[in-house]
């Protein structure tokens, strides 16, 4: 893995984004970190580059605003002169079933989980094309392929849309004959972070999935997969190896899968 890469990470003040920043920074990469909470972001930046604070910079940003996403790009280029990897990680869950969703619920899930990534791709991919190389990682969810946690409702839908648009971009790049520019989708399942507690309308930790479903992973397990993906780009990856087989069973017969799945 090249230690000289410059990596931009959104949603980097906590959870997967923070852990990835620390992992890549300590691997020797230069990281540009975006999030709204500048105090926590600064703490992550310090942890990512404890011996050389210039290799990790914190940029206060709200990625639901296109101008803030563009600012992230511009600051990274001004400081380091290049960008090699862009991680669209910012996201937020919800704990509300479909029939109770409000307009505001849907708008927030789309803005945070989908539009922010679209802004990221639109902001950085033209630069990657011009530069001749680059890699976008869109952090989705296993729920994009296996939307059986119905209390996540609009979150599931937004992540499914993110998977679809990522595939669309890959096909567009292929159609244009672009080489050296990659768009990867990362699909974690349940991760032992505060994601569930920070979800809209959260009433506490998520229930543990049934034994037949992929089980929780540590955040270090997830970022280890992401670090390998940066070194070896692929279109999609489940961070939990057990997820692919479960998704295959789901797709084969959705009705039968739903009927046989324990409710939780």
Q: Annotated catalytic sites, by residue?
A: 155
Distance from C-alpha of 45 to C-alpha of 55, rounded to nearest angstrom: 9
What does the H/E/C string look like for 155-215?
HHHHHHHHHHHHHHHHHHHHHCCCCCEEEEEEECCCECCCCCCCCECCCCCCCCCCCCCCC
Beta bridge partners of 144: none
Q: Which residues contact 83 (CB under 8 A, 6 or more apart)?
A: 6, 7, 8, 32, 73, 76, 77, 124, 127, 128, 134
Residue with tokens 């997969």: 225
Cβ(62)–Cβ(36) below 8 Å: yes
């Amino acid at each position: 893995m090249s230690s000289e890469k410059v990596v931009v990470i959104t949603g980097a003040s906590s959870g997967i984004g923070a852990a990835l920043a620390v992992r890549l920074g300590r691997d020797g990469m230069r990281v540009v970190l975006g999030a709204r909470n500048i105090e926590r972001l600064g703490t992550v930046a310090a942890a990512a580059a404890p011996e050389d604070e210039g290799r990790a910079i914190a940029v206060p940003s709200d990625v639901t605003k296109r101008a803030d996403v563009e600012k992230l790009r511009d600051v990274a280029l001004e400081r380091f002169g290049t960008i090699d990897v862009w991680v669209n990680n910012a996201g937020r869950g919800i704990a509300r079933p479909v029939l109770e969703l409000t307009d505001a619920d849907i708008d927030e899930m789309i803005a945070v989980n989908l539009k922010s990534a679209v802004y990221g791709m639109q902001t950085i991919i033209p630069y990657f094309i011009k530069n001749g190389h680059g890699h976008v990682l869109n952090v989705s969810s296993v729920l994009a392929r296996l939307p059986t946690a119905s209390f996540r409702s609009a979150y599931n839908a937004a992540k499914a849309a993110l998977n679809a648009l990522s595939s669309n971009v890959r096909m567009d790049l292929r159609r244009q004959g672009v080489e050296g520019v990659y768009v990867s989708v990362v699909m974690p399942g349940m991760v032992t972070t505060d994601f569930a507690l920070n979800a809209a309308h959260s009433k506490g930790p998520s229930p543990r999935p049934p034994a037949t479903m992929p089980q929780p992973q540590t955040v270090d397990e997830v970022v280890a997969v992401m670090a390998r993906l940066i070194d070896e780009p692929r279109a999609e990856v489940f961070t939990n190896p057990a997820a692919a087989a479960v998704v295959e069973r789901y797709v084969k017969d959705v009705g039968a899968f739903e009927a046989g799945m324990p409710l939780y």
